[in-house]
Structure 1
Amino acid sequence: MSPLPSLLQIVELVVAAVVLAVVLISIRLLVRRIERHYPDASKLYYFITSIVVITAIAIAAYRYGLVDLLVGSLTAIGAMGVVLGLGLVPWVSDVYAGLMLMLNPHIKIGTEVEIAGKRGRIILITLTTTRIAGDDCIIIVPNRKFRDEIVVIYGTKPSERTFL
């Protein structure tokens, strides 16, 4: 089968366009008559026109095989969205926890903390990680650990101590 449209398909398309134009003009004339008695009838025109145009597009899509293409494309896009969404879960979790850390008044740069058995002073808080200076080392902790594990904050008064 040739990729170029046949003469019959072109004629079919032209006839469909003419029929659509005649239907839309007829609807407009009918609505103008109705508007004389009911001024809000113009809303009806836009509603009916929308239905007619959507129906014409759906028929053309079905007739020329675009429905299969559309369904296949939407399926592929949906699958990619699921894969991308599952891949981004840890990152989004870190960003959310990072925002909560930045808003927490008890945790700031210079605060001494203990998390997962490691103790040190916070030297940097970013959206995805927090850097803690330990004994002769720097510990990089994903922010979600602050949300998922018990964090001990040192150097605060007992009434201000917080467990995250």
Structure 2
Amino acid sequence: MSPLPSLLQIVELVVAAVVLAVVLISIRLLVRRIERHYPDASKLYYFITSIVVITAIAIAAYRYGLVDLLVGSLTAIGAMGVVLGLGLVPWVSDVYAGLMLMLNPHIKIGTEVEVAGKRGRIILITLTTTRIAGDDCIIIVPNRKFRDEIVVIYGTKPSERTFL
């Protein structure tokens, strides 16, 4: 079977379009008659027209094999969405934790903290990472560590000391 449509398929499509046009015109004439007695019948026209057009599109898609193409495409898009979603989990987790860090009144730039066994002073908080100045080094910590592990905040009064 050639990828180009045959003459028969083109004739089928033209006949189907003419039949669809005749059906839609007939529905419109019928609704105009009904509107004389029921002014709200135009809503019925739009409803019936929508059903007829959607049905015609579905039949044409099935007839010309577009349903298989659509199902295959949606399956591939769904699989890519799952892969992308799983790949973005750590990043989304870091962004959420970064927002929570920015809103936390106890953790701000200049606060001395201990996270994952590393101690230092916070010098920068971004959406995905926090930079901590340690002894002669800078430690870049993913923000999810602040959510997943125990965080010790130093330099606060004993009653204000916080463990996250």
TM-score (norm 2): 0.96
User: Any idea what SS the aligned residue of 2:156 has?
Assistant: coil
What is the distance in 2 between the residues matched to 1:33 and 1:87? Answer: 59
Q: Displacement, 1:103?
A: 1.1
The gaps in structure 1 that reach 5 residues or longer are none
Residues 72-119 of structure 1: CA deviation (Å, up to 9, x unaligned): 000000000000000000011001101111111111110000111111
* 1:140 alignment partner in structure 2: 140
What is the distance in 2 between the residues matched to 1:115 and 1:122? Answer: 11
User: Any idea what SS the aligned residue of 2:107 has?
Assistant: coil
* 2:38 alignment partner in structure 1: 38
User: Any idea what SS the aligned residue of 1:159 has?
Assistant: coil
The gaps in structure 2 that reach 5 residues or longer are none
* 2:48 alignment partner in structure 1: 48
What is the distance in 1 between the residues matched to 2:69 and 2:19? Answer: 26
User: Any idea what SS the aligned residue of 2:68 has?
Assistant: helix
User: Any idea what SS the aligned residue of 1:158 has?
Assistant: coil
What is the distance in 1 between the residues matched to 2:121 and 2:38? Answer: 75
Q: Displacement, 1:37?
A: 1.5
User: Any idea what SS the aligned residue of 2:140 has?
Assistant: strand
1:99 equivalent in alignment to 2:96: no
Q: Displacement, 1:161?
A: 2.2
Q: Displacement, 1:132?
A: 0.5
What is the distance in 1 between the residues matched to 2:159 and 2:27? Answer: 75
What is the distance in 2 between the residues matched to 1:27 and 1:105? Answer: 66
Q: Displacement, 1:71?
A: 0.4
Q: Displacement, 1:2?
A: 2.4
What is the distance in 2 between the residues matched to 1:40 and 1:155? Answer: 73
Q: Over aligned residues, Cα RMSD in angstroms?
A: 1.0
Q: Displacement, 1:160?
A: 2.4
Paired positions, count: 164
Q: Displacement, 1:3?
A: 2.3
Identity of aligned residues (%): 99
* 2:63 alignment partner in structure 1: 63
Could you list the runs of 4 or more consecutive aligned residues of structure 1 that deviate by over 6 angstroms after TM superposition?
A: none
Alignment CA distance shift 1:37-1:159 (3 Å): farther
* 2:13 alignment partner in structure 1: 13
Q: Displacement, 1:157?
A: 2.1
What is the distance in 2 between the residues matched to 1:5 and 1:98? Answer: 56
